[in-house]
Amino acid sequence: MNSYLKKLTAAIFIGFAIYYGLFALAISKYPGGSDAFPDSTAFDMFHNYWCDIMSLESKNCKPNPARPFALVAHLIIAGILICFSFVFPRLFQKEKKIHQFIRVCGVLMGISYGLVLTDLHNQALYLTALFGIGVFAGAFSELLQKAYRPVLGLFIVCLVLNVVCLYIYITSWNLYYLPFLQKIMMLVCTAWVVWVTWLVRKKVN
């Protein structure tokens, strides 16, 4: 089991490194344009969504050479979500039924996130959020234990950012700020997943 967990934790660390490397490459190749500024000539961290660099054509109506790199990066995140659903429960001392619930929801969330690349983009996002609620609920109940309060603190920040981004996406309230908030959410969630993964790896060593 320890060998299995070490492989999963290593896959998460390596996956994130490749993910951000691919997105940096994709960003550099994106021709430009956003909903707010369609005539821009480069990727704008404040105004472009991640999904902009996955499109066949950029927002300024040019062919998008960033697409292949962004698609692979997106699928890597889907894989990381699935791996993490098996790693996270190992943070705790005893196996519980809630841990199996977290695993199932985590796997379904990863699959749904991967389907965002299809024509079912919006439906896949809603399913990702739905299964994410299951993961968050199960994780929250476990992190209430005193020993995990520091992990819980950053987890709550991740939860708030996810809820705010989802609310803006659904209601279009202050939609102008969503692309930037999306990136803040991704960085904070990455930090939390890496931290928990490191704690689990340290535990099994």
What is the sign, positive or negative, of the torsion defined by CA atoms of 183, 184, 187, 192? Answer: negative
Under 8 Å CB-to-CB from 58, ≥6 apart: which residues? 30, 31, 32, 33, 52, 64, 66
Distance, in Å, from the CA atom of 48 to the CA atom of 73, rounded to the nearest integer, reads: 16
Distance, in Å, from the CA atom of 69 to the CA atom of 185, rounded to the nearest integer, reads: 21
Range list of H helices, the chain:
2-29, 67-87, 97-114, 121-143, 149-171, 178-204
Question: What is the pTM assigned to this prediction?
Answer: 0.93
- Tens digits of residue pLDDT in 157-184: 999 999 999 999 999 999 999 999 999 9
pLDDT-based confidence at 1, cuts 50/70/90?
Answer: low
Task: State the residue range of the domain holding 59.
Answer: 2-204
Query: What's the total number of domains in the chain?
Result: 1
How far from the centroid of its chain's Cα atoms is residue 57's Cα? 24
Distance, in Å, from the CA atom of 204 to the CA atom of 6, rounded to the nearest integer, reads: 8
For residue 176, the one-letter residue type is Y
Distance, in Å, from the CA atom of 129 to the CA atom of 108, rounded to the nearest integer, reads: 10
Backbone angles phi, psi at 194, to 5 degrees: -65, -40
Among 110, 121, 116, residue whose Cα is nearest residue 78: 110
Distance, in Å, from the CA atom of 112 to the CA atom of 81, rounded to the nearest integer, reads: 10
pLDDT-based confidence at 123, cuts 50/70/90?
Answer: very high
**Mean pLDDT to the nearest integer, 122-128:** 91
- Tens digits of residue pLDDT in 48-78: 999 899 999 999 999 999 999 999 999 999 9
pLDDT-based confidence at 192, cuts 50/70/90?
Answer: very high
By the 8 A CB rule, do 113 and 77 touch? Answer: yes
pLDDT over 90 (residue 22): yes
